[in-house]
Amino acid sequence: MPRIIPAEAPYPPQIAAELARIMPKGVEPLVLFRTLARSPRVFEKMFAGGLLDKGPLSLRQREIVIDRTTARLGCEYEWGIHIAFFAERVALDAGQLSAIVHGPADAACWDPDEQALLAAVDDLVDRRTIEDKSWSALAAHFDEAQILETIALVGYYHTISFLCRGLRLPLEPYAARFPSA
């Protein structure tokens, strides 16, 4: 059971409009979104700070950062949703899905730019900084806007992971599960 019961329709007009905008047609709003709707202020602020729009990273790069962050933080809820909605679109195969959860940043299944992103995520999650070696790898593949986006994504999904885990949200029925090690 979640610690806060998710809101149910009908939602306040502003929340209903935002849910309609972000959810695919025919998919019920996520438990996370409906739980955040219990606090219109938190709901509004979280969506105002969202990074799901087109940014300077490719969709695949963005998803690699999000998936690694949520996996490293043990947030199967958010990881599983992103895998369900985006893994096929960004061509993440079964080996990469396992590696993003259990493998090292330099696993052979990743291109060098992807390894740099994974190392940056690992540094930020484990040490709350980016080590010089990881920074050099990032800078070799990405410009300043892309590096800032990467750091912001890790921070944003750190917060999302805390919300999901702290609230003990039940996994969505269609979401992927962490692969076995």
Same domain, 40 and 124: no
121 burial (CB, 10 Å; 0-12 / 13-18 / 19+) is buried
Q: Which of 101, 121, 19, 132 is nearest to 61 (CA)?
A: 121
Residues above pLDDT 70, as percent of the chain: 98
Both 63 and 146 in one domain: the answer is yes
Q: What is the model's pLDDT at position 48?
A: 79
> Do 63 and 44 reside in the same domain of the chain?
no
Q: What is the mean pLDDT of the chain?
A: 95
* Tens-digit pLDDT profile for residues 61-82: 999 999 999 999 999 999 999 9
Q: Are residues 42 and 69 in the same domain?
A: no
Regarding whether 24 and 77 lie in a shared domain, the answer is no
How many C-beta atoms lie closer than 10 Å to residue 61's C-beta?
23
Distance in angstroms (rounded) separating the CA atoms of residues 118 and 114: 6
Q: Are residues 160 and 96 in the same domain?
A: yes
Whether 106 is in a domain gets the answer yes
**pLDDT of res. 103:** 97
pLDDT of residue 47: 82
Containing structural domain, residue 27 = 13-48
Considering the domain architecture, whether residues 83 and 43 belong to the same structural domain is answered as no
Rounded CA gap, 153 and 155, in Å? 5
Confidence band of 134 (pLDDT split at 50, 70, 90): very high
Span 9-68, pLDDT tens digits: 999 999 999 999 889 888 999 999 999 999 999 998 888 766 667 789 999 999 999 999
Asked whether residue 127 is domain-assigned, the answer is yes
Instruction: Determine, yes or no, domain membership for 117.
Output: yes
Same domain, 103 and 129: yes
Q: Would 66 be classed as within a structural domain?
A: yes
Higher-confidence position of 54 and 107: 107
pLDDT value at position 2? 87
pLDDT tens profile 165-180: 999 999 999 999 999 9
DSSP for 74-127?
T-HHHHHHHHHHHTTTTT--HHHHHHHHHS-TT-TTS-HHHHHHHHHHHHHHHH
CATH number, domain at 125?
Answer: 1.20.1290.10
| % pLDDT > 90, the chain | 88
Q: Are residues 19 and 73 in the same domain?
A: no
Q: How many domains does the chain have?
A: 2
Residue 68 and residue 32 share a domain: no
